[in-house]
Structure formats: C-alpha cells, structure tokens
Amino acid sequence: MRSPKAMGMAVILAIPLALTAPTTAASAAVPPDISLTAVKAHLTQLQSIATANGGNRAHGRPGHLASANYVKGLLDGAGFTTTLQPFTYSGATGYNVIADWPGGDPNDILMVGGHLDSVTAGPGINDNGSGSAAILETALEVSRQALAPTKHLRFAWWGAEELGLRGSQYYVNNLPSSERTKIKGYLNFDMVGSPNPGYFLYDGDNSDGTGSGPGPAGSAQLEATLQAYFASIGVPTRGTDFDGRSDYGPFISVGIPAGGTFTGAEGIKSSAQATLWGGTAGQAFDACYHRACDTTANINDTALNRNADAIANAVWTIATGTPPTPPTTVYSDTFETATGWTTNPGATDTATLGQWERGDPEATTSGGAKQLGTTVSGSNDLVTGRLAGAAAGDYDLDGGTTSVRSPAITLPSGTLNLSFSWYLAHGSNASSADFL
C-alpha cells in the first residue's frame, strides 16, 4: 500500500482488513422428471368433477369442494398432514387445502401454491387446473421419493382466487406474525399450460423496470432458480410484473418473497413472442380464458410438461440445498493490537511527515472534514498523520511517498477475496499525484 505526496491529505485504512477463502456452493438433491401423463390424469379428474357438478368448480359450488376433497384425499394417502381450511365470502363457503410434508426446518418454510377454483362459466382446466395438477403431482413425487428437505415444505391449493384472491388472503390474514416470518419463500403457479403459451417468470428483481417494482427481498433468487431451469432446457423466458392478479399478492404484501411461472391468459401474443416461443401471433395465449371451452382440450402438453418439471426443479433445488459454508478467514487485522506492520519496508519512502502508523485518527477540518476522528474497528486504524495539530496542514502527508507492509501471510490455493474499508481526504490544491 502506497500513498504519495498531498497537500492537506490524510489516508486511513479503516479496517477490518480480511482475506477469505470463498464459500462452498450449496448442493441439492437431483430433481425428478414429473410425469406429464400423471399431471394430465389429475386434469381429467378435475374435468369430471366439473362435469358432474354443473360444469364448473367455482367458489361456493359443489364442484369446488369435490376438487378440494380429491386433492386432500391423495395427499392424506401420501403421508402429508393436510388441512381443509374453510372460509366464507359473499355468503358462500370456500376452502383452502394446506398440506405439510414432515421434516425440514420449521422456521424455514418453502411454500408452493396455486388456486383450485374456477369461474362459474367453465371447468377451469388451464385456469387453474394446470397449476393445481402440476403442484399436486410434484407433492406426490416428494412422497414417492421420501424426500428429506432441509427446508420445511408446505403446499397449498387456494379457494376463491377468481373472486379476488379471497382464499390466499384469508390464509395470510389468519397467520400469526410469528408464523408468517417462518415462510421464507412462496412459489405461485397459475395457468401453466396455455394453448398458445409464453414462458413468463414473475419479475422478482424488477429487471424489466415496469409496473409495481421488485418483490420482497429473496424474490430475485426465486426468479433466478426458475430462470436457470428454463435456460438448462433451452427455453427463453421473459418477466411478468407482480400486478396482483394471482395468489402471490397477499404474500408479497406482508414481505414474503415470491416467484413463479405463467404461460399467459387473455393477452395477445406478439410477433416477437411468436418468434421467441412459437405459436400464433395476434391470438390470445389462452383464447378460452374464463370461458366454457377451458376444458382438457385447452392445454398445451409441451408447456404443461415443462412447467411441471420447473416446479419440481425449484422445489428440489430450493428445499434440499444445504446452506453454503461460511468463508474461511485466512488473515484479518483490526489494528487494535500491533501485529507487525512495517513502515518503509523497502527503504524507498521520501515523505518526511505524516507517514503510515497505527493509531487513532484525530478529527481535522479544513474546508470540510479531512480526518473523521472515528475508526471502524474500535480505537485504531492504519493511518497517515494521525494527529490533528493546531493548523491546517499540520501532520499531513507532504513532500513524498510513504509505504507500509503487513506481516507475511501464507495463502492457500484457489480464489481469495480481499475486503477492506478506506477513507482518503485531500485539499482543493491536491493534484492527480495524490492517490492511494
């Protein structure tokens, strides 16, 4: 470290100074390939339930309760602890299905959800039988593999989303704050098999710079995990705003990070999007959105298969990854004790005043603060000209250079990270020759 001549210049290394070996990357269990056939079998069941109950699975209608019981029955048989959570909206009873997989850190919960209700106009197979079925098959695969995640896994199928996120809002509102803080991430999957699909990810980091801004801290990491999966299979993705249209809304409103995928609803696919993903430009991503024709015929198998695998990949990657090991400190110094730093080690210094020393930098002012009079680590820094003096310029580093060298440090192989804090001040008469 060298510092040259300055008029009215003070240089402080405000430490700790540290060399660290990098962290070990997190590892995770290998994600499964979710069976498209199995996911579509769930969609067939949801279609049959709607057909037998007036053509829909809407809030307060028998088709919704039958759908909830279908999901709950499979999860009960697979070893989940399940709850059918009733709530009332608009004079009718709706239901959330909540399923907890045993094990994992109860204070570090990954939650995965999507809505199970349809509109009254149709059976709601893409919206949102697709997300419900893909999440369900992922949960059942967790059971088949006897997954032992490091995080606690919780799955949810929401009621009355189509009436304004009523089920998920009820769930979040009725969680004690101490329980909310345990949920470290929520993944939402709503419409993942649109017949003219796009591949959208909720824009957790606001990299698109549009709409409502980024999600709560941690949302960017959820987005990155999903993005990495699609990149691995050669499928480009684009962001979609947290616009409040689905069940992530109540979660991000209380600061829980969120992410998820979406293949498009009534929006029109552009020419650029058709070039990117295929399909038909100038037509809706889902022309049967909220219509009676949202049946099992209203599904793109490729999109459904890719998204089901993306859900499983995210669950396995996030829930089973071990936290990275903390960095190993190779060397650090707070300068609170003398550790053998040597001033002018090469006998090359030319400065006659203000040379490097370990000490407490006294506050100085000349046209503004020049030496702050504070340290980062306690009472001492490595500083040039620690004394203030009676006049501007007293004890400043003037007329040459000063150097200082640390004790010998044995470095391990591999990449190392160096971190330190420093502060440099100089007067208005300083030049480009004044530098650290």
128: preceding bond cis by omega (within 30 degrees): yes
Integer Cα distance of 123 and 316 in angstroms: 31
First to last CA, the chain: 7
Q: In sequence order, what E strands does 68-202 have? A: 81-89, 92-101, 105-115, 151-158, 183-189, 200-202
Quick check: helix, strand or coil at residue 152? strand
Residue 274 CA to its chain's centroid (Å): 29
Residue 145 CA to its chain's centroid (Å): 26
Integer Cα distance of 51 and 73 in angstroms: 20
Phi, psi values for residue 213, rounded to 5°: 90, -175
Decide: 14 and 425 in contact? Cβ < 8 Å. no
Q: In sequence order, what E strands does 150-237 have? A: 151-158, 183-189, 200-202
Report the length, in residues, of the chain: 436
161 counts as catalytic? yes
From the list 141, 161, 162, 223, the catalytic residue is 161
Q: Starting from the edge strand earliest in sequence, which strands make up the sheet with 81-89, in order?
A: 81-89, 92-101, 151-158, 105-115, 183-189, 258-262, 200-202, 238-240
Q: Which residues are catalytic?
A: 161
